[in-house]
Amino acid sequence: MHPVHDFDQDANRRGTDARKYDPALCPEDVIPMWIADTDFCCPKELLDAMAERVRQGHFGYPYNDAEFGQAVAHWQKERFGWDASPEWVDFAPGAVMPLLYGIRAFSAPGDKVLIQTPAYPPFYALVENNGRRVVRNPLKLINGRYEIDFEDLERGLADLRTRVMLLCNPHNPTGREFTPEELRRIGELCLKHHVFVLSDEIHGDIVYGGRKHTPFAAVDPRFAGNCCIAVNPSKTFNTAGLRTAAFIAPDPNVRALMLEQRMNNKAFGRPVFGALSVKVLYRQCGYYADQMLEYLEGNIRLVEESLSQCRGVRLVKPEATYLLWLDCRELGLPQPELMRFMKEKAKILPNDGETFGREGVGFVRMNVACPRATVERAMSQLKRALDKEA
């Protein structure tokens, strides 16, 4: 019998070092609904394991035990049905870092990297700060759902300077969980045009409506040899501050190139508590992920019902992630005014859609991984502010 986690519990993060609640960004009268961590306490199993580790009283250099890779592989098998080998797994200090290693390993300065937009803002920085150029494949919003423009995708991949595709699945910020058929088409096009795939799958645990996340490498053995996958328990279990992720590279040559880039950046030492968190969470805390998913679905229903009574803001209903993409274009506000309206009148702080690229103008991203009472308060404040603007 698994324990029941209380997701209604107030984590009381204001006044701590939580970036989400930084008073310079988010005064006390504003509800922070921006950065992608949760307001849920971590599972008791992790807290107990960390307390026991503290009682040891020493935190010297750890050795790299096999349990880290075994735990990651176990989670992939248990949650997604992918029989990944522990030997394919290695450590990274955050899920963005494998993407950096891959960009450096499989492209050169001046080459191009394809991303599907709107896109997680660090994707742009990863590409441009390393002397590469961004190729956009804009997703198309059709009848309230984002779709891949495969003709445009192939044009971008066919460019002889395009060496890498950054795939984000589940997709941040649109909330799409790409289907196996869509992933197969992407994989075939990347093989056809000799483009390497870096797949960010850190939101893979949070998929709704009976859907199931599909790891890119599990779609076809040929794709497994042409990709590297980044995973991280941080989105599910609120452990982003532990700075511990993993990458999965089934092909030994790919893995060697990734490890070479990690070594070049001296980013190979596993932190004591981060490595512990991966082993505990991926082995013992599946129940927490299941319960959180059910709770989040309730939060999303609440937002959907509330916005159905509001003018000018529409929910792009998510298939995955706790990051809701809100279409505010009917309000007709320039982006700076839209953000001022949200913060100063509705008293909520979402992410600015424009930071996700030009396709995000007129949108905001709202994080609902918080107690339901917080979502209720935020929706009430937004409705009142919209009613006053009408």
Domain termination residue (choose one: 266, 284, 302): 284
Same domain, 120 and 197: yes
Distance, in Å, from the CA atom of 106 to the CA atom of 101, rounded to the nearest integer, reads 9
Domain of 383: which CATH number?
Answer: 3.90.1150.10
Structural domain includes residue 181: yes
Q: Can you give the pLDDT at residue 310?
A: 93
What are the structure tokens assigned to 67, written together?
Answer: 């349990």
Question: φ and ψ at 239, to 5 degrees?
Answer: -125, 30
Distance, in Å, from the CA atom of 177 to the CA atom of 204, rounded to the nearest integer, reads 8
Q: Can you give the pLDDT at residue 266?
A: 83
Structural domain includes residue 115: yes
Question: φ and ψ at 56, to 5 degrees?
Answer: -65, -30
Same domain, 242 and 377: no
C-alpha dihedral over 306, 205, 25, 364, to 10 degrees?
Answer: -50
For the segment 359-380, what is each residue's pLDDT rounded down to a tens digit?
999 999 999 999 999 999 999 9
The total number of structural domains in the chain stands at 2
Q: Can you give the pLDDT at residue 2?
A: 80
> With contact defined as beta carbons under 8 Å apart, do 369 and 40 qualify?
yes
For the segment 319-343, what is each residue's pLDDT rounded down to a tens digit?
999 999 999 999 999 999 999 999 9
Domain termination residue (choose one: 254, 284, 314): 284
Q: Can you give the pLDDT at residue 119?
A: 98
Contacts of 306 (CB under 8 A, 6+ apart): 379, 380, 382, 383
Same domain, 32 and 141: no
Q: How many other C-beta atoms can be found within 10 angstroms of the C-beta atom of residue 279?
A: 19
Domain termination residue (choose one: 284, 303, 321): 284
Query: For the packed helices 180-192 and 150-158, what is the interaxial angle rounded to 10 degrees?
Result: 30
Q: Can you give the pLDDT at residue 389?
A: 80
Same domain, 225 and 348: no
pLDDT beneath 70, residues of the chain: 390
Q: Can you give the pLDDT at residue 11?
A: 78
